[in-house]
């Protein structure tokens, strides 16, 4: 979904603007509201819609634009990872996430909601604060990628590889991560609430502060 489309949709539903001030305004989703939204997300419809999309033909250009955006965000925030947060929404059973961050006058934040990246190679990419809500990407390779603060809620990531990736504070709630690999990944403060982790590999991963509330087959965490 493009920025203009998201802004128009939000205007219709009287929600926050796409680029709100930092810190995020009052009215973000509370835990109770998040639980209510989770109950109405239509995962099957979300993934079917995403799977019917083509891989973005200008993905490399958008990744370069995101890199420029991150450089600007870091400059505004006093260095990486940058100050930002997500507002999570649900519209007619479809999930959305909108980034709340300081205004940046260079590049463009990457938001590929309901995108199809099945089998794509994003290994080693710096993708902090990227929006990939409702993503359809079985077999996605994000090994050694930096996904700090990324929004991956309600994503179909079966068999995806995050080996050695930085997923600190990333949101993977309700994602399908069957047989995904997180070996050696930094998962500090990541959110896996209600995610399906059947057969996922967490060997050597840093799980400190990660949330696995109501997740399917969560990893054993050290005391």
Q: How far is 144 from 184, CA to CA, in rounded Å?
A: 9
β partners of residue 126: 146
* Average pLDDT for runs of 10 along the chain of length 223: 45 34 39 53 94 93 96 89 90 92 94 94 97 97 98 97 98 97 98 97 98 95 59
pLDDT of 39: 56
Q: How far is 173 from 14, CA to CA, in rounded Å?
A: 25
C-beta of residue 116 within 8 angstroms of C-beta of residue 54: yes
Cα angle, residue 13 at apex, residues 8 and 17 outer, rounded to 5°: 55
Domain count, the chain: 1
Instruction: Give the torsion through C-alpha atoms of 15, 18, 19, 21, to 10 deg.
Output: 20
Specify the CATH number for the domain of residue 215.
2.160.20.80
- DSSP helix/strand/coil, 116: strand
pLDDT of 212: 97
- pTM of the predicted structure, to 2 decimals: 0.82
pLDDT of 17: 29
pLDDT of 222: 60
Q: How far is 179 from 73, CA to CA, in rounded Å?
A: 34
Identify the domain containing residue 122 by its residue range: 1-223
């Amino acid at each position: 979904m493009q920025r203009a489309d998201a802004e128009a949709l939000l205007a219709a539903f009287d929600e926050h603007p796409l680029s709100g001030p930092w810190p995020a305004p009052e009215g973000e989703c509370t835990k109770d509201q998040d639980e209510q939204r989770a109950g109405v997300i239509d995962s099957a419809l979300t993934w079917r819609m995403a799977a019917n999309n083509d891989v973005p033909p200008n993905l490399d250009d958008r990744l370069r634009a995101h890199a420029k955006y991150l450089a600007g965000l870091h400059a505004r925030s006093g260095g990486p990872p940058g100050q930002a947060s997500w507002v999570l929404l649900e519209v007619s059973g479809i999930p959305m996430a909108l980034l709340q961050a300081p205004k940046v006058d260079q590049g463009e934040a990457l938001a590929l909601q309901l995108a199809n990246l099945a089998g794509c190679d994003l290994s080693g990419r710096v993708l902090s604060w990227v929006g990939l809500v409702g993503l359809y990407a079985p077999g996605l390779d994000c090994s050694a990628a930096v996904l700090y603060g990324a929004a991956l809620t309600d994503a179909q990531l079966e068999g995806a590889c995050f080996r050695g990736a930085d997923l600190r504070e990333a949101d993977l709630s309700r994602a399908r991560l069957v047989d995904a690999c997180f070996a050696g990944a930094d998962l500090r403060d990541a959110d896996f609430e209600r995610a399906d982790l059947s057969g996922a590999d967490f060997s050597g991963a840093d799980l400190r502060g990660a949330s696995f509330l109501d997740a399917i087959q969560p990893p054993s965490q050290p005391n």
